[in-house]
Amino acid sequence: MRINIFFLLLLFSTIVRSQCTTTNATCASATPLTVNASCTAGSTCNGQVLPSGTSTSCTLFNIPNPGVWYSFVATDAEMNVSVANIAPLACFNRVLVFEGSCGALTEVDCQQVTGSTADFFISLTTLTPGNTYSIFIGHRLNGCAMDYNFCISVSTAGVSNDVPCDASPLTLNVPCTFSTFLNTGATDSGVPAPGCANYIDEDVWFSVTVPASGEVEIDFDSGVITDGGAAAYSGTCGALTLLDCDDNSSNNGSMPLLSLSSLTPGETIWIRVWENGGDVNGTFDICATDPSATPDNDDPCDAQTIYLSIPLVSLKHIRMSALQIP
């Protein structure tokens, strides 16, 4: 019986994995990443093990594990690689960074987790600008999930949206669709502290265009950063007026939520984001939506109660029926 169950599980695993489409299972077919772009979704499903002879200090107990490949061209000597764990959460994962050609790889840095679903953040400090670097993301075939689903990004040590006039534009989505960003390398924009969530000298900026409804909602979810703050401003990027400031109104842990109304359609709203206390750098998620186009019960914590109506049955009918029972 145990043997039969084993083969059934093996068959199921083979069927599920055969449904994956992977185009970057080798170093030569690595997916190129754009520096400072939003993260790219990926999976180790149908990945391949490291080529024989490839040396790494992150071995996951020397058990072969499949993975996929990415590459990027260094634009600075100091850059960051961020890999966020995406549901269904996996454990026994690793991220390896190499330099050199695919046939002669030399490890630059690596990280691994054993029995944990933690995100990865690798700070690289000795890169050669103009050189191409390869990234292997692997997952051991046991533990929390069959495959490792993730979102990967590469950024310079600073951030491109460090001041209001360089704000990253957000697209309104219904329902709200999160994108991952970083605050690593952020500095103080010089805008006065907004008065909530313990702002200390490190912020990044976004912008959003107000829809016809005049309503905008900006929600946040945790990544490496689990306690954030956010503020909204009107005006121009050089002359801002504070509209709102929030600490932890989101349903996603200790993250902020900005609910704005009575805005002027077509105007630009500036969104300021920071980590509470300014002592944690890394990833966080943000999304923008028009709440007037979103159902009231679009979130588990706002679930709509459904009341069941049960028709009453005549007691007289029940008594008559009982008398007819032989």
pLDDT of residue 193 exceeding 90, the answer is yes
How far apart are the C-alpha atoms of 104 and 162, rounded to whole Å? 38
Residue 16 lies in a domain: no
Task: Determine the length of the chain.
Answer: 326
Q: What percent of the chain has pLDDT over 70?
A: 85
Residue 305 in domain = no
pLDDT digits (tens, 9 = 90+) for 270-305: 999 999 999 888 889 999 999 999 666 766 766 777
Check pLDDT > 50 for residue 320: no
Top-confidence residue, 308 or 6:
308
Pick the more confident residue, 77 or 213: 213
Encoding tokens for residue 128?
């050669």
The pLDDT value recorded for residue 182 is 82
Give the C-alpha separation, 110 to 136, whole Å.
9
pLDDT of 319 reads: 46
**For the segment 137-160, what is each residue's pLDDT rounded down to a tens digit?**
999 887 688 899 999 999 887 778
89: pLDDT strictly greater than 50 = yes
Is residue 13 assigned to a domain? no
Say if residue 106 is in the same domain as residue 201.
no
Considering 132, 156, 180, which residue would you say is the last residue of a domain?
156
If asked whether residues 233 and 146 sit together in one domain, one would say: no
Q: Which residue has the tokens 């299972």?
A: 25
- 326 pLDDT band, cuts 50/70/90, is very low
| CATH code, domain carrying 245 | 2.60.120.380
Q: What is the pLDDT of residues 127-140, one digit of tens each?
A: 999 999 999 999 98
Q: What is the pLDDT of residues 203-221, one digit of tens each?
A: 999 999 999 999 999 999 9
Q: Which residue has the tokens 């039969």?
A: 4
Q: How many CA atoms lie within 13 A of 71 on its CB side?
A: 20
103 in a structural domain? yes
Other beta carbons less than 10 A from residue 73's beta carbon? 15
Instruction: Using the 3D structure, point to which of 123, 156, 189 is the last residue of a domain.
Output: 156
In which domain, by residue range, is 193 found?
A: 164-294
Cα–Cα distance, 156 to 80 (Å, whole number): 6
Joined together, the tokens standing for residue 125 give 């400090």
Whether 143 and 41 map to the same domain: the answer is: yes
What pLDDT was estimated at residue 19? 62
Q: Are residues 273 and 290 in the same domain?
A: yes
The DSSP call for residue 147 is S
β-pair type (204-209, 168-169): parallel
Tell me, yes or no, whether 148 and 274 share the same domain: no
pLDDT(309) > 70:
no
Q: Which residues pair with 70 in a beta bridge?
A: 31, 135
Name the domain boundary from 131, 156, 181: 156
Q: In the numeric block, which tokens belong to residue 259?
A: 């609910």
Same domain, yes or no, for 141 and 168? no
Q: Give the H or E element holding residue 10.
A: helix 2-18
Distance CA 120, CA 86 (A): 12
- What's the confidence (pLDDT) of residue 196? 97
Cα–Cα distance between 271 and 75 in angstroms, integer?
A: 27
- Where are the extended beta strands (E) located within 161-256? 168-169, 179-182, 204-209, 216-222, 228-236, 239-246
Can you give the pLDDT at residue 298? 61
21 vs 211: CA distance, rounded Å: 37
137 assigned to some structural domain? yes
Q: Note whether 122 and 226 are same-domain residues.
A: no
Indicate whether 253 belongs to any domain.
yes
94 domain-assigned: yes
Say if residue 125 is in the same domain as residue 178: no
What pLDDT was estimated at residue 155?
Answer: 86
Give the dihedral sign, CA 303/304/307/308. negative
Residue 44 lies in a domain: yes
Tell me the per-residue pLDDT of 217-268, one tens digit each, with 9 for 90 and over: 999 999 889 999 999 999 999 999 999 999 999 999 999 999 999 999 999 9
The number of distinct structural domains making up the chain is 2
pLDDT of residue 11 exceeding 50, the answer is no
Query: What tokens were used for 293?
Result: 């186009």
pLDDT of residue 323 exceeding 60: no
Residue 72 has pLDDT above 70, yes or no: yes
